[in-house]
Structure 1
């Protein structure tokens, strides 16, 4: 077996590979840019080599620097992770030419299947059903428009060397094709160093289902079941699960056998993924093949018990697969949530900064479920604007889909992150969504269910009762602590404290009484001051002030809530609901109601930067008349280009930024008359 391998990647996937290599007794080498000097993968590896500036094009994408690092450290093989050079034929070939083993497929397989255009040609030659499209070289936007007109709308414009949703646009008209073509080429160039794109028919109401394949260098190829990846936003997967709630055993076998046949046709010899677009009637069409490890590979590992990274390393070393197809068994259900540094309340715009708090839920058994967290960050670390905004991949396994979703919801509630914005509130809300829970999925799920974007949910129903009870509980715990410190309460003395309290939460008043019963707190909620009792909640927890997560029970049911104390109350997050609960005496509540409400400043005549990013271009000039919906500028953040448009008709008064400027969130870009 290899004695030392280098990981040509960063972040959570580099840490993931290091964990398996360490378990196998293999030493590891990390590479890092200036921005990653203090990154977790650098700390975890046995050795680390600096390879250049923060920009990936000057560090992680430079083949010569990666090879030099391997030679310098004596690494015998290189694992590419995903993204960056993982699907670059030239990289695999360069390693082969330099006597370094590539922990991935052979260069010919990458050329045949890693390139999205070539893979479709190979699939067509192998009689695999493919989506209608144009696979030739597209000369310009006008050429792309003519092709789209012939195929019929809607169409998808996709980077040939792409992956991870980068360089991908859906167009419903000729004008959208022209704009999407330009943006897709630009993103493809910056993300993959290859600006080729192709156009294909976009299947309406589709599901995205992929088959995990595994091959060796002795002609053996097997499939390890499927993953459902239909919950996507901007073509970026958000939640994945395995198996798919759509497929039956016959369809699973048909897709798996087709994927294996395709892999064998190109002598595929590593872990790879054959992706299909599936109709609600279980029909399916070949979409593309990713000749690398997928981001969502943990859900397959959880239901099969197979370590895909270990298998990749063993195959690269020349070992035969130890498993046959008949030995692959699917057990239980796994759900994965991608936790991103982005603001779900501001159209998921990227967020960067320091992780002031980073406390993931405990990994391992949780009742009859299992929790796993793949990450590459740590508390106190920085989220950089140069790379993908992923913070972690939270995975839960359970015997059934229903229990796996419930475990995921509990784990998300226990995931504490502060210092940056993140999408946990959105993921938590998704776990409660009836359509998601029913398995009635499609790639349009998020756009259909959240057409106006994700909005803050008000506390209501059962969740409101839980949050009000917890707010009263926390207020009581803090009051007990204050009394002990001040000497107002003798040791061991116990009485009913904190009667006649008022919890104000999202504009709703909850009159409560808190009774300490020793170990459990009873929170009685009344219908107004002196009104009839509506509900009594029992709360028990070992929470102490300062802890970011309250883990305990409400009415005998386990709960996790994110908590952060504020003056006269506590900020709470639970089941996708984030709110501030103020706890007052009745007199304080009367006075608080008289306080004036702070009004936000009017910024209607200014275009501000919605996220930290780099200005790629300014599309207007001073004095220009603009119409609602017209493009004003393009801002790049975390490898994604975002077009900022005029919200209403107006005239440009001044422009404060220029192409190449790095802007902070809410920085003024231009003003209007």
Structure 2
């Protein structure tokens, strides 16, 4: 077995590999850019090597610098994680030439499956169902429009060397095909250094379901069941689960058999994923094979009880797989929610900054798992003991800690929150509670959106497609709707908290003065137009509310209302509390009846006129300006494209207008809210 491995990656996947390597008694070497000098993966590894400035092209995907770090550290093997160099065949070959083991598949398999055009041809030859499309390269936008018309709209425009949702666009007409071709080409060039594009038919009402495969160097290949990855935004996965709520046993077996056949056709070893698109009749079609560990691998680990990273390391060391296909069992249900640094209230635009508060829920039910919620756990000094009696398990794979910076140079994923339960309902319930308990401040993030999805009836019923987010949130996300009964419960909790604050103030006042402060016997809690009159009982609290030990100033509250538990994030306001629960963000005012009567007489504040400016919604690089001074623009027209976190964001006109001045040019680096152009 190896004594030392280098992890050619960063963030949560680098931390994930460190944990397994430490369990196996293997030393680890981290690499880092200037932006990651104080990153968690650097602190967790036994050694760390600096490899360059923040841009990935000058550090994490600069192959010569990574190879130098391998040589200087004396690492015997390299785990590439996902992204960066993980699917670069030349990197695997370079390691082989220097006698360093690559913890991944052979370069020939990466070559065969890493190119989507080649992989589809090989899949067809191996008897795998494939999506109709044009397998040749597309020269320009005119040709893209021509081919799309021949295939028939809608079509998917995809980067041949792509992955992770980068370089992918859906086009429903000629205009979208033309625009999507150029954006896909630009993203592919920036992310993979390869701007080749192809087009295939877009399957309507599709589900994205993938099969986890695992092979060794002795010709053994098995599959570990499927993962449902249909909850996506801009072709980037947001929520995954295992198994799929849609597949039956026959379809699962057929998909698994085809995935194994494809893997064997290219002499695959290590962990890999064969991705399929599945229609409403359970017809399935090959999409691509990812020749690496997937972001969503934890849900497979939770339902199989296997450590995929450990198995990858053992396969790379020449060992045989310790199990055959008949030994694979799927136990229970697991769900993964990807926590992204993107603001759902601003169209999911990327967000950067410092994590002023980062308190993930306590991991539980996992044997020997590190708990990153504590400094010693984050650095590998503490473990969570397995509890066979635990009805659920909670796991949080992360690469950050409180006080850390979220950079604009890398993917916006902060953490992967996973839950396991004996069935899907239990896994969903555990995820709801875990999301409610996840404290994150300092940046925009998608925690409220994830919580809203967990409560959505269509998700709960398992009626999923890759269009779920676009269909159910067509106007974006503005906070979860909350039922009147739940709002009433929260109003009573806020009143109970106000009573606790007032009681503490009275206690302090009583010490300092010779008279007792009189406490209210009732409160009025208001949110918008909703009003709740809340009476206090003899114990100074509303009937049915138990604050569960919450004290004024605490940021997290586990309360009970009429016997039902609730986990709330709490911020005290001047006249009440900000309560966040299940994706809802409520500022509830709590006043005495007299003050509530006076507050109702106050005139509402009027909003000022909206500015006639296009502001940069996130720190980023201007890719293009689509208009000129004097142009008349229409609502929805493209104005500019800004790149941030390796994704291109198209900025469109919100209303008709005429361009008066343009302040930014392509190539400019802009801060958030910096003016790009002004209108008359």
Q: C-alpha separation between the residues in 2 aligned to 1:412 and 1:403?
A: 14
Q: Per the alignment, do residues 672 and 370 of structure 1 end up closer, same or farther by CA in structure 2, a change over 3 Å counting?
A: same
2:571 is aligned with 1:537: no
Aligned pair partner of 1:418 in 441, 456, 460: 441
Give 3-state SS (helix, strand or coil) of 1:603's partner: coil
Q: CA deviation at 1:458?
A: 4.8
Give 3-state SS (helix, strand or coil) of 1:162's partner: coil
Match of 2:524 in 1: 502
Q: C-alpha separation between the residues in 2 aligned to 1:591 and 1:665?
A: 39
Q: C-alpha separation between the residues in 2 aligned to 1:245 and 1:522?
A: 43
Q: CA deviation at 1:604?
A: 4.4
Match of 2:368 in 1: none
Match of 1:306 in 2: 306
Q: CA deviation at 1:57?
A: 0.8
Aligned pair partner of 1:402 in 425, 438, 447: 425
Decide whether the 8 Å contact of 1:109 with 1:266 is kept in 2: yes
Match of 2:374 in 1: none
2:666 is aligned with 1:659: yes
Q: C-alpha separation between the residues in 2 aligned to 1:369 and 1:479?
A: 38
2:97 is aligned with 1:97: yes
Match of 2:268 in 1: 268
The farther-off stretch of 318-327 and 95-104 is: 95-104
Give 3-state SS (helix, strand or coil) of 2:536's partner: strand
Decide whether the 8 Å contact of 2:110 with 2:291 is kept in 1: yes
Q: C-alpha separation between the residues in 2 aligned to 1:256 and 1:495?
A: 71
Q: CA deviation at 1:472?
A: 1.2
Q: C-alpha separation between the residues in 2 aligned to 1:275 and 1:327?
A: 23
Match of 1:526 in 2: none
Matches within 5 A, 1:454-603: 454-487=477-510, 498-515=520-537, 517=539, 522-523=541-542, 536-603=543-610
Q: C-alpha separation between the residues in 2 aligned to 1:337 and 1:559?
A: 20
Taking structure 2 as the reference length, the TM-score comes to 0.94
Q: CA deviation at 1:332?
A: 0.2
Match of 1:533 in 2: none
Decide whether the 8 Å contact of 1:131 with 1:287 is kept in 2: yes
Decide whether the 8 Å contact of 1:497 with 1:514 is kept in 2: no
Aligned pair partner of 1:436 in 459, 472, 490: 459
Q: C-alpha separation between the residues in 2 aligned to 1:504 and 1:270?
A: 58
Match of 1:383 in 2: 406
Match of 2:394 in 1: 371
Q: C-alpha separation between the residues in 2 aligned to 1:599 and 1:272?
A: 56
Q: Per the alignment, do residues 68 and 561 of structure 1 end up closer, same or farther by CA in structure 2, a change over 3 Å counting?
A: same
Give 3-state SS (helix, strand or coil) of 1:487's partner: helix
Give 3-state SS (helix, strand or coil) of 2:479's partner: coil
Give 3-state SS (helix, strand or coil) of 1:481's partner: helix
Q: CA deviation at 1:152?
A: 0.7
Q: C-alpha separation between the residues in 2 aligned to 1:97 and 1:596?
A: 76
2:472 is aligned with 1:449: yes
The farther-off stretch of 405-414 and 590-599 is: 590-599
The farther-off stretch of 89-98 and 494-503 is: 494-503
Match of 1:204 in 2: 204
Q: CA deviation at 1:516?
A: 5.8
Matches within 5 A, 1:285-296: 285-296=285-296
Decide whether the 8 Å contact of 1:458 with 1:506 is kept in 2: no
2:154 is aligned with 1:132: no
Q: CA deviation at 1:5?
A: 0.6
Q: CA deviation at 1:276?
A: 0.5
Decide whether the 8 Å contact of 2:480 with 2:582 is kept in 1: no
Decide whether the 8 Å contact of 2:621 with 2:670 is kept in 1: yes
Q: CA deviation at 1:185?
A: 0.8
Aligned length: 655
Give 3-state SS (helix, strand or coil) of 2:189's partner: helix
Q: C-alpha separation between the residues in 2 aligned to 1:248 and 1:65?
A: 48
Q: CA deviation at 1:508?
A: 1.2
Q: CA deviation at 1:541?
A: 1.1
Q: C-alpha separation between the residues in 2 aligned to 1:159 and 1:600?
A: 44
Q: CA deviation at 1:462?
A: 2.9
Q: CA deviation at 1:543?
A: 1.6
Q: C-alpha separation between the residues in 2 aligned to 1:672 and 1:542?
A: 55
Matches within 5 A, 1:116-131: 116-131=116-131
Q: C-alpha separation between the residues in 2 aligned to 1:250 and 1:114?
A: 29
Query: Which consecutive residues of structure 2, in runs of 5 or more, have no partner in the other structure?
Result: 366-386
Q: What whole-Å deviation, never above 9, does each CA across 1:351-371 have from its counterpart, x for those lacking one? A: 111111111111013951110
The farther-off stretch of 449-458 and 146-155 is: 449-458
Q: C-alpha separation between the residues in 1 aligned to 2:602 and 2:79?
A: 60
Decide whether the 8 Å contact of 2:127 with 2:258 is kept in 1: no
The farther-off stretch of 269-278 and 109-118 is: 109-118
Match of 2:378 in 1: none
Q: What whole-Å deviation, never above 9, does each CA across 1:438-484 have from its counterpart, x for those lacking one? A: 01111111111111111223543232122112211221222222223
Q: Per the alignment, do residues 432 and 460 of structure 1 end up closer, same or farther by CA in structure 2, a change over 3 Å counting?
A: same
Give 3-state SS (helix, strand or coil) of 1:298's partner: helix
Q: What whole-Å deviation, never above 9, does each CA across 1:24-78 have from its counterpart, x for those lacking one? A: 1111111111111111101111111111111111111111111100111111111
Q: CA deviation at 1:552?
A: 2.8
Q: Per the alignment, do residues 516 and 436 of structure 1 end up closer, same or farther by CA in structure 2, a change over 3 Å counting?
A: farther
Match of 1:190 in 2: 190
Taking structure 1 as the reference length, the TM-score comes to 0.95
Q: CA deviation at 1:290?
A: 0.4
Matches within 5 A, 1:42-441: 42-365=42-365, 367-441=390-464
Match of 2:369 in 1: none
The farther-off stretch of 634-643 and 295-304 is: 634-643
Give 3-state SS (helix, strand or coil) of 1:541's partner: coil
The RMSD of aligned alpha carbons is 1.8
Decide whether the 8 Å contact of 2:408 with 2:619 is kept in 1: yes
Give 3-state SS (helix, strand or coil) of 2:295's partner: coil
Q: C-alpha separation between the residues in 2 aligned to 1:495 and 1:439?
A: 55
Match of 1:14 in 2: 14
Give 3-state SS (helix, strand or coil) of 1:94's partner: helix
Decide whether the 8 Å contact of 1:240 with 1:335 is kept in 2: yes
Decide whether the 8 Å contact of 1:209 with 1:244 is kept in 2: yes
Q: What whole-Å deviation, never above 9, does each CA across 1:314-365 have from its counterpart, x for those lacking one? A: 0001100001111100000001101111111111111111111111111013
Match of 2:678 in 1: 671
Q: What whole-Å deviation, never above 9, does each CA across 1:124-159 have from its counterpart, x for those lacking one? A: 111211000111121111111111111111000111
Decide whether the 8 Å contact of 2:509 with 2:517 is kept in 1: no
Q: CA deviation at 1:600?
A: 3.3
Q: CA deviation at 1:506?
A: 2.9
